[in-house]
Homo-oligomer: A and B are copies of this chain.
Amino acid sequence: MKLSQLGERKIIKIFEREFDKRRCKNAVVGIGDDACVIKFGNKYLAVSTDAIYQKTHIPREMTPRQIGKFAVNVNLSDIAAMGAAPLGMVFSFGMPSNLDENFVAELSKGINKACREHKTCVFGGDTKEHGEIVIAGTAFGNVENKILTRSAAKAGDLICVTGSIGSAAAGFYCLTKNLDVKASGRLIKAALEPKARVREGILLGRYANACIDISDGLAFSLHEIAKASRVGFLVYEEKIPVDKNVKKVAELSGIPLREIAFHKGGDYELLFTISSRKFKRMKEEIGSDVAVIGEIKKRGKKILNISGETEELESRGYEAFVTKFLNLKSADIEAWKKRQCCGSLSRIRR
């Protein structure tokens, strides 16, 4: 069967079947979570690897600096979802030989800036020639408190998310559908410059039970926690934190808001579950927007919709090989070069 028929999750099942886990004596958390966790000496090391490819992950509106920041943030988001503090990263770069050295310099500046924002660094890496730009990152984190897996949610836990949902997908629609939305700059920034919830992840290590990064979509992530923790959930649609401009994008584009908020993905926010008695203390300390969107139940994967009816929530989300994220146009090196590698967000808005 071709991989396009199989889909990412089933491909991962092949790896799980073939790799002999018994030799991974130091692995505390292995395949199937946001990151692996390895016991090393007297400490726990979280490790996550994620690659971005020019044609499938880098919208042509992204500047080289934004690409650099993006590569850092997608990896650190997985480290944050484990409740770990970033230690550093390594990168394996693939680059076309006709690329200009300015591109490399701008990309590096973006990587360095994002590392600085998250108080981390690049330890080293590898550079090779390749037909298109590939940035394969591996991030390391130090788990100082609890390891936040997907499998530790308990019936009765509150379900929470950081930040606001659907902004990245809405931002992409602003770019690809030329929508006239007032705050499109902010939405486009959410799409092109996502920021991992690193600080929040570290703090959640002291309070949360289960945690996951929702970049593959909110619905998919809820189902992942339910499956791994062998529990159910009830989510209140009206409690989902959605920017009013995202609602405007839904109206103008004709794409249902439920679709944008639950199934499109692209938001590098954290979904977590927490005992209700710890919620208040966490909320006081976190200093960021956190919304309670539902409750972990013994069974059922339900949503209480805006009309007050309970229905099943589909687990559908972003899946590599089977779906394409918003049919983005492929990145265009020529366009970057014309913009001299570093157009600001306002200059590239169309």
A131 near B55 with CB under 8 A, answer yes
State the Cβ distance, A74 to closest chain B Cβ, in Å.
10
Taking CB atoms, residues of chain B closer than 8 Å to A31 are 122-125
State the Cβ distance, A120 to closest chain B Cβ, in Å.
7
Partner of A134, one of B18, B94, B129: B94
Chain B CB within 8 A of A41 CB: yes
A99 near B3 with CB under 8 A, answer yes
Taking CB atoms, residues of chain B closer than 8 Å to A19 are 108, 111-112, 115, 121-122
Contact with B along A290-322 (1 / 0, CB 8 A): 000000000000000000000000000000110
Q: In whole angstroms, what is the CA distance A10 to B33 when docked?
A: 38
Closest residue of chain B to A24 (Cβ to Cβ) is B121
Partner of A36, one of B109, B123, B131, B136: B123
State the Cβ distance, A93 to closest chain B Cβ, in Å.
8
Taking CB atoms, residues of chain B closer than 8 Å to A41 are 40-43
Partner of A53, one of B15, B123, B124, B128: B128
Taking CB atoms, residues of chain B closer than 8 Å to A122 are 15, 19, 24, 31
Q: How many copies of this chain sit in the oligomeric assembly?
A: 2
State the Cβ distance, A13 to closest chain B Cβ, in Å.
10
B98 near A138 with CB under 8 A, answer no
Partner of A126, one of B30, B49, B95, B115: B49
Partner of A99, one of B2, B55, B101: B2
Q: In whole angstroms, what is the CA distance A73 to B321 when docked?
A: 28
Chain B CB within 8 A of A151 CB: no
State the Cβ distance, A70 to closest chain B Cβ, in Å.
14
Taking CB atoms, residues of chain B closer than 8 Å to A88 are 24, 26-27, 38
Chain B CB within 8 A of A45 CB: yes
Chain B CB within 8 A of A350 CB: no
Closest residue of chain B to A123 (Cβ to Cβ) is B36
B320 near A123 with CB under 8 A, answer no
Partner of A11, one of B1, B53, B101, B130: B101
B136 near A92 with CB under 8 A, answer yes
B321 near A2 with CB under 8 A, answer no
Chain B CB within 8 A of A326 CB: no
B92 near A129 with CB under 8 A, answer no
The answer to whether A49 and B321 touch (CB under 8 A), given A18-B109, A112-B19, is no
A23 near B119 with CB under 8 A, answer yes
Taking CB atoms, residues of chain B closer than 8 Å to A140 are 38, 47
Taking CB atoms, residues of chain B closer than 8 Å to A224 are none
A132 near B129 with CB under 8 A, answer no
Chain B CB within 8 A of A348 CB: no
Taking CB atoms, residues of chain B closer than 8 Å to A345 are none
Q: In whole angstroms, what is the CA distance A125 to B14 when docked?
A: 12
A3 near B95 with CB under 8 A, answer yes
The answer to whether A4 and B121 touch (CB under 8 A), given A19-B108, A127-B12, is no
Taking CB atoms, residues of chain B closer than 8 Å to A182 are none
Taking CB atoms, residues of chain B closer than 8 Å to A3 are 95-101, 104, 129
A-B contact pairs, 9 of them (CB 8 A): A15-B127, A18-B108, A30-B124, A31-B125, A40-B41, A40-B45, A51-B126, A57-B128, A134-B136
Closest 8 CB pairs of A and B: A136-B136, A18-B108, A41-B43, A4-B97, A23-B121, A36-B123, A24-B121, A138-B138
